[in-house]
Structure 1
């Protein structure tokens, strides 16, 4: 397992690369060019700038999250070929600086969705929270405003300029079914994967977060059956998964450890985090510790270890603790604690394996 840490860029993150480097076992950053609109080819000079910043601190840039996909590709519009060509060129540029994995998602309009960015937990920390009843009653535009209010940093997936005309976006998806969306994903992959193969890059699709329909929009990366179907769309080692325990695990019907065991050879990138699911289906993000949430993080990490996982992993969202000023879900302190919890499990498994083999 190769530990990495998401970093949003110089001037766009309260966490510094100097701090990232001090977390035990972290070897690289998970990054993106958040100022480049979805669909545009990434400028090579901006890519090089991130590479130089990371290397100054002894960190690599082998994992990108995300090269966002233009809505025209998801909608299957005639203009999609233009955006797919730009995507191919970006893949080529990223390969030239050593990138090995590109995480992306295929969620219509919205990326991740929460109703509260700082819900207080019993210990006084705060965390991202999803309250289902509020989704039924809220205007989507009001939610966009709430996510971005008082934010001095970018909120990937919730860019106000991209979501300025939600009425038009919703109208575009009015007749798009889940089968249509899956077909459009297949078209995208059939065009992209040969380029990824040529440049030794693994594309890794991220699950829907949360893994169910929001505002009536189609969602197709929700469960084990969806994941298997997506892998079969283009059966290639370059067509892989970003297995996110928190996204998939917010639906109690999803057995994340079982998915790890099933798809281990097609997971180049793992997101590991915990959630506490309430009886009514609402959920809040917790510490990574198994006992604090509804997911068996110990079993999930064990599943990776059993399968000799050598891919990249990062602690996903953390709580906001010790009065840290940070991007919602992406503070330094709790994610660093999460890394040490994951390493603790991993090291214990390594020691037990060594004893068995002795």
Structure 2
């Protein structure tokens, strides 16, 4: 069968509750993983990279359905690089060496992001849907409540619309302790692979380090980073794929600079090498109705090095939740169809793609998973996406 995508699965290493055997049974070949145990800013050695590769190879000996490490997600960028601190050049040199080592080992696609302090964030990681499964939800009104009344960030109210602040105050007055605790824990979650997580104190300190750093300064620091690393990536045969901001707007007073089509235009014009690319995430970009997703695919297809497919259901301009993969606001049929057409027209590649942020459902509701990364919800998403891909390819071939 012809393919648009290489079916892939995010796996957090030996401690991931989803086993490699389960990944094989889900039908994925590509493993999207990272060396989470290595501190951010340190070099990923050839030995450490090969240890992870051997782990996958060992699984192939047990069950011959082949797995391979096709995408790094993520090779994190140190906060001092984002902040433009004096030691950023030393940290960038470490990053370059990691890229060289990954290229030597044959791992040649790198997903990373330039979001300050926080990766993706949701205000409710246990939002119950009508069918009883749970999803991830982002509500700006609840974020305001967290910012003003739980985090108590100085001058936080100035970053929000006055009417929204008023509504948030009224809602806060009606919330009970359990609701406030769920909101707090949802926003202080550790990132996947990070066992330490955030505290209010740690988050406050992280935010304080960005006081006075504007969106323009953060954008300049991103370009500075890319100007240093992209030539090295090209030489190493590595493709860099920046992940869009999630959500695609400023949060907790932090600037965001990879949120819309004009941001991509700026990044690619400043650093034009094809190794400088994007992870097309239909959920992150799709959280904003201003982003035309098919147009972004068509415009930047040759710079899309990795694909995350998920759909959010936008309820308001600042409220969305993770929908089933073929439902919601993304228009998944049109997106996959656009990838298919671009592949044919531009003699494109089979791109690595993974389903993202599945619902917690069935037996997984009784187990301990990182929200959005349970097994069955992502299995459902992958199955639906594989069926959609199969239908588009075969219908087109018949016509």
Q: Structures share a fold, TM > 0.5?
A: yes
> SS of the counterpart of 1:268?
strand
Pick one of 283, 286, 291 that aligns with 2:323: 286
Higher percent of residues as helix = 2
TM-aligned CA deviation for residue 333 of structure 1: 1.1
Give yes or no for contact 1:27–1:59 (8 Å, CA) kept in 2. yes
Matched, 1:146 2:146: no
- Alignment-derived partner of residue 163 in structure 2: none
- The CA deviation at 1:209 is 0.3
Q: Higher mean Cα deviation, 191-200 or 329-338? A: 329-338
Structure 2: distance between partners of 1:16 and 1:69: 28
Q: What's 1:16 paired with? A: 19
Secondary structure class of the residue paired with 1:4: strand
In the TM superposition, what whole-angstrom CA distance separates every residue of 1:84-121 from its partner, at most 9, and x where no partner exists?
Answer: 01101111111122112100000011111101111100
Query: Residue 373 of structure 2 aligns with which residue?
Result: 330
Q: Which residue in the other structure is 2:140 paired with?
A: 132
8 Å CA contact 1:186, 1:234 repeated in 2: yes
1:333 and 1:18 map into 2 onto residues whose CA distance is: 14
- CA–CA distance in 2 between the matches of 1:336 and 1:115? 24
Kept in 2: contact 1:108–1:217 (CA 8 A) = yes
Deviations 1:235-271 (A, max 9, x none): 0110000010001111122121221111111101000
Partner of residue 286 from structure 2, selected from 243, 249, 256: 249
In 1, the alpha carbon distance for the partners of 2:275 and 2:233 equals 6
Taking the aligned partners of 1:321 and 1:328, their CA distance within structure 2 comes to: 11
Distance 1:10 1:189 in 2: 31
Q: CA deviation at 1:163?
A: 8.2
Q: Distance in 2 between matches of 1:52 and 1:232?
A: 39
Runs of at least 5 residues in structure 1 that lack an aligned partner in the other structure: none
Q: Does the 8 Å CA contact 1:277/1:294 hold for their aligned counterparts?
A: yes
Shift of 1:164: 5.4
Shift of 1:175: 1.1
* Secondary structure, aligned partner of 1:128: strand
Is 1:310 equivalent to 2:350 in the alignment? yes
| Alignment partner, residue 170 of structure 1 | 207
For the aligned residue pairs, the C-alpha RMSD in angstroms reads 2.2
After TM superposition, the runs of 4+ consecutive aligned structure 1 residues lying more than 4 A away are 140-145, 156-159, 161-164
Q: In structure 2, what is the equivalent of residue 212 of structure 1?
A: 249
Mapped partners of 2:131, 2:198: distance in 1 = 37
Asked whether the equivalents of residues 36 and 194 of structure 2 are also in contact (C-alpha less than 8 Å), the reply is no
Matched, 1:99 2:143: no
- Residue equivalent to 1:270: 307
Question: TM-score scaled by structure 1?
Answer: 0.92
| Structure 2 segments unaligned to the other structure (5+ residues) | 61-65, 153-180, 344-348
SS in 1 for 2:316: coil
